[in-house]
Structure formats: C-alpha cells, structure tokens
C-alpha cells in the first residue's frame, strides 16, 4: 500500500467533527486504519462510515475522554480491532466561556479535564502499547490560545497552555523509547466550534456559557457576519483556517517524515500571532 502513513493505525479523539474529522479523512487518504473516537456517537459513527465508503478501514468508539476507564477502553478497542496503535491524535475539546468572576468551578474543572487531563490519560495508556511495538507518534491539538489570552476564555487558555508544556515534558521522557510527541497550535479555524462561538446558534453541548443554561447565543446574521469578518481580518492571511489545513500538519507530524521532531509546538494561524497588534502605517 502507498501513502504517508500506510499500514499505521491512528486514533483520533474528537474525530466526529471539525479538525478531528478532517484529520480522520487525511489519515485515511494516506493509508492509515482509523479509530474515530467521540463523546458524540452519531458524529463518530458518521465519520467512520464515510471513511469506509471511501475504501478505508475505520471503526468508531464512543468515549468521554475524561473518563480513565473509557480511555483505556478506546486504546484496547484500537488494538483489538487493528492489532496495534501507531498514532494518537488528542483533539477533543470542551470549554466554559465567561469572565473569571462568572466562571463556575465545575466549568473550570470540566474545561481543564477535557483539554489537559484527557490528553494525559490517553498518552498514559497509549505509551505502553507504542513502546512495546517499538515506537509511535502523538499529536495534541493545542491552540494559539495556549500561547496568549482571549477575552472570556481563561479556562480554555489555561488548558491549552498546559497541554503544550505537558507535551514537552512527556516528549523528552519518551524520546529514547521511539515515541514522538508534538502539538499543533491553530488560529481560528472554520469548524462547528468556531461557528458556535461566532453566534451561529449551532448546538454544541461541549461549549457552555458561565451562568447561562441557554448556551452560546444566536446572533443576528448581520452581527454574526461582522464578527466573523473581524475574526478573519485578525489573521494577516485574511480568512479563517480550514480544518484540512490543520489536518495536513497533524499528518506530517504523525508521519515518519517528521522523524526528528519531538516536543515541539507548531503555530498554524495565518500569521495571527506574528502580528504585534499595531495597525498598518502604510
């Protein structure tokens, strides 16, 4: 079989939507067998079915990645189904948004659980399998929000910063065992999560607003378009990123082409964080 990850087995959390879905498709295109994991069973099932329709080998597994037993179950499912586990993409996310005084302790804890504890758990349980096989690659989806602050996103900002430094520590501990670990740090990417944050009214149960049972607000079409245009304009490239553009970097880092890369955090943000924020003087 040809392909950049031919014959490898890749497990993707949050694989039922957005960047995880795009990564599942890219891995399948390049020859991997794919395990699509999500708390949203419909999404995971739909993506795995799409991969099989495209001629790939894929299975889905429903798990809350903050639950240690479920995480062990997803790793076992990969090994039992495909005989090994070569690539782990820790990508699921959830967040409570709101100012520090409004954030609930439960929302703070849940945000950190999904964004930091879950990658720790999956890494902890994947490592013995990968080491026994002779190696593997782990890619964590962090964010530019792990390198800077955002208004109303302190829990998410803290979680994404933590996962970047967790990746570095774990990478140096296991580099000599043949397991590489890296992060990708996207800017704003046009996925259901960003659509919900920009007021589409989309149902995203994993995104909540501190102090509101109603979830993220639905904005008028005009306000939403203005907000999306401002968000796009903050990226010097002039637009939001596409899920597939992030998937391409995840694929590279997970493949043997990245054999000397470990403990790194790659910014992929259309120039967003290259900018001081000052306006153009020309």
Ligand X SMILES: NC(=O)c1ccc[n+]([C@@H]2O[C@H](COP(=O)([O-])OP(=O)(O)OC[C@H]3O[C@@H](n4cnc5c(N)ncnc54)[C@H](O)[C@@H]3O)[C@@H](O)[C@H]2O)c1
Residues interacting with ligand X, by CB under 6 A? Answer: 13-14, 16-20, 38-40, 43, 63-66, 91-94, 114, 141, 143, 186, 188-189, 191-194, 204, 206
Residues 236, 244 contacting (CB under 8 angstroms): no
CB of 13 to ligand X, least distance (A): 6
What is the C-alpha to C-alpha distance for residues 44 and 61, in angstroms, rounded to an integer? 7
CA distances from 196 to 64, 92, 188, 208 (A): 21, 16, 12, 10
Instruction: Tell me whether residue 18 or residue 56 sits nearer to ligand X (CB atom).
Output: 18
Q: How many angstroms separate the CA atoms of 258 and 139, rounded?
A: 11
Q: Are 111 and 156 in contact (CB under 8 A)?
A: yes
Cβ atoms of 180 and 80 closer than 8 Å: no
The least distance separating ligand X from the CB of residue 242, rounded to whole angstroms, comes to 10
Q: Please say if 151 is a catalytic residue.
A: no
CB of 186 to ligand X, least distance (A): 4
Is the CB of residue 152 less than 8 Å from the CB of residue 97?
Answer: yes
Q: List 139's β-bridge partners, or say none.
A: 89, 182
Q: Kindly state the smallest distance separating residue 147's Cβ from ligand X, in Å.
A: 11
Secondary structure (DSSP) of 98-110: S-TTT--HHHHHH
Residue 139: phi and psi, rounded to 5, are: -125, 125
82 sits in the region (left: phi over 0; alpha: psi -120 to 50; else beta) called alpha
Which residue of the set 125, 151, 156, 174 is catalytic? 156
Smallest gap from Cβ 177 to ligand X, in A, equals 25
Nearer to ligand X among residue 130 and residue 240 (C-beta): 240
If the CB atoms of residues 55 and 205 are measured against ligand X, the closer one turns out to be 205
Identity of the residue, 248 or 281, whose beta carbon is nearer to ligand X in the bound complex: 248
**Any idea which residues carry the catalytic annotation?**
156
């Amino acid at each position: 079989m040809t392909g950049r990850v031919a014959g490898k087995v890749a497990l993707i959390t949050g694989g039922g939507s957005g960047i995880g879905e795009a990564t599942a498709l890219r891995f399948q295109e390049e020859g991997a067998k794919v395990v699509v994991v999500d708390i949203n069973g419909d999404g995971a099932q739909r993506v795995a079915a799409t991969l099989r329709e495209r001629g790939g080998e894929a299975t889905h597994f429903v798990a809350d990645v903050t639950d240690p037993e479920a995480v062990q179950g997803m790793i076992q499912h990969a090994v039992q189904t495909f005989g090994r586990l070569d690539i782990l993409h820790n990508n699921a996310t959830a967040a409570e948004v709101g100012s520090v005084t409004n954030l609930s302790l439960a929302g703070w804890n849940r945000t950190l659980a999904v964004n930091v504890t879950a990658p720790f758990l999956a890494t902890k349980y994947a490592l013995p399998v990968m080491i026994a096989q002779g190696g593997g690659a782990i890619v964590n989806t962090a964010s530019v929000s792990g390198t800077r602050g955002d208004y109303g996103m302190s829990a998410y900002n803290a979680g994404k910063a933590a996962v970047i430094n967790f990746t570095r520590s774990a990478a140096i501990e296991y580099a000599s065992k043949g397991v590489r670990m890296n992060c990708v740090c996207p800017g704003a990417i046009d996925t259901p999560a960003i659509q919900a944050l920009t007021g589409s009214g989309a149902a995203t149960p994993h995104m909540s607003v501190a102090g509101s049972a109603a979830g993220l607000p639905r904005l008028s079409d005009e306000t939403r378009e203005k907000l999306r245009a401002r968000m796009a304009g903050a990226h010097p490239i002039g637009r939001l990123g596409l899920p597939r553009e992030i998937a391409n970097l995840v694929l590279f880092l997970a493949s043997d082409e990245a054999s000397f890369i470990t403990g790194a955090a790659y910014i992929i943000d259309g120039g967003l964080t290259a900018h001081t924020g000052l306006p153009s003087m020309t």
